[in-house]
């Protein structure tokens, strides 16, 4: 009898341990006793991409069109089109394709959490593999929801991860504001080189506080953008922001050395998106 009880207890422990190592279903915020737990932080929003075949409309919206998006991009962003955005094998797939569509030569997807996930401060963490190919420009980034100080760049931008295909394995993290942004050459950013962003998952994150935004890849903090204590022109990051995931093709930066059409189709694969609030 004791042996039977011991075996049952061991099986129960093993089952519990296995469950802790699985991603949550993504339909609700996960409890803090599984793989989403992070010491010192409380999970407030997540998508593990474990259910359905398309991104959840309760969590994600799509930008649609082929306007160039202020950067002379070449793609047409589609909405709920499985060729460009779908759930597959427990991951989100954003796929860029070479095809004629609505007057453009490429298609892709640009997803965002506006009014479905908006936060002031916290840790934003995304685990992803990036597409390879000259002319690609994948990004994981944030824009303001309420545009408190007016249009871009006045109200700010946070680039958690940007990568351009002609500079492989180099990740860029940036913040932009009226005082510090790329069009006047004053942007605050830093790069980090990784061994393989195409075939290996890496975790891209920011920890956003009132006095700074820290940038991480995996467990390495490689950049911090400080609040210099002046005014909103330097620090508009005192308002709600939302997340954006997209794969751009071409554009002023991504297309600076052309586009390799032989690379298509290509994918950004996202394992999860998690947002945490710092514990008091």
**Active site residue ranges:** 157, 162
CA proximity to 156, closest of 90, 98, 242: 242
Assess whether the previous peptide bond of 153 is cis (omega < 30° from 0). yes
Is the CB of residue 50 less than 8 Å from the CB of residue 90? Answer: yes
Alpha-carbon distance values, 59 to 48, 116, 216 (Å): 11, 5, 24
Q: Which residues pair with 235 in a beta bridge?
A: none
Span between the terminal Cα atoms of the chain, in Å:
47
d(CA 155, CA 30): 31
Helix, coil or strand: residue 184:
helix
């Amino acid at each position: 009898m004791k042996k039977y009880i011991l075996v049952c207890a061991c099986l129960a422990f093993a089952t519990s341990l296995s469950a802790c190592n699985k991603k949550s279903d993504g339909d609700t915020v996960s409890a803090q006793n599984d793989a989403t737990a992070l010491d010192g932080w409380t999970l407030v929003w997540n998508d593990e991409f474990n259910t359905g075949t398309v991104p959840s409309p309760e969590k994600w919206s799509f930008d649609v069109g082929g306007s160039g998006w202020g950067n002379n991009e070449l793609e047409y962003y589609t909405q709920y089109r499985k060729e460009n955005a779908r759930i597959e094998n427990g991951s989100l797939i954003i796929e860029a394709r070479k095809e004629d569509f609505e007057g453009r030569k490429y298609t892709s997807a640009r997803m965002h959490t506006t009014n479905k996930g908006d936060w002031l401060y916290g840790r934003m963490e995304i685990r992803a593999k990036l597409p390879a190919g000259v002319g690609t420009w994948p990004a994981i980034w944030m824009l303001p929801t309420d545009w408190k100080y007016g249009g871009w760049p006045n109200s700010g931008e946070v680039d958690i991860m940007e990568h351009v295909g002609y500079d492989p394995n180099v990740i860029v993290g940036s913040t932009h504001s009226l005082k510090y942004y790329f069009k006047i050459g004053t942007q605050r950013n830093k790069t980090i080189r990784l061994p393989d962003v195409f075939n290996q998952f890496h975790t891209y994150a920011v920890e956003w506080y009132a006095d700074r935004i820290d940038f991480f890849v995996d467990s390495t903090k490689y950049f911090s953008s400080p609040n210099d204590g002046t005014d909103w022109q330097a620090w508009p990051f005192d308002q709600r922001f939302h997340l954006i995931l997209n794969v751009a093709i071409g554009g002023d930066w991504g297309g600076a050395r052309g586009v390799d059409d032989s690379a298509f189709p290509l994918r950004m694969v996202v394992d999860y998106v998690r947002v945490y609030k710092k514990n008091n």
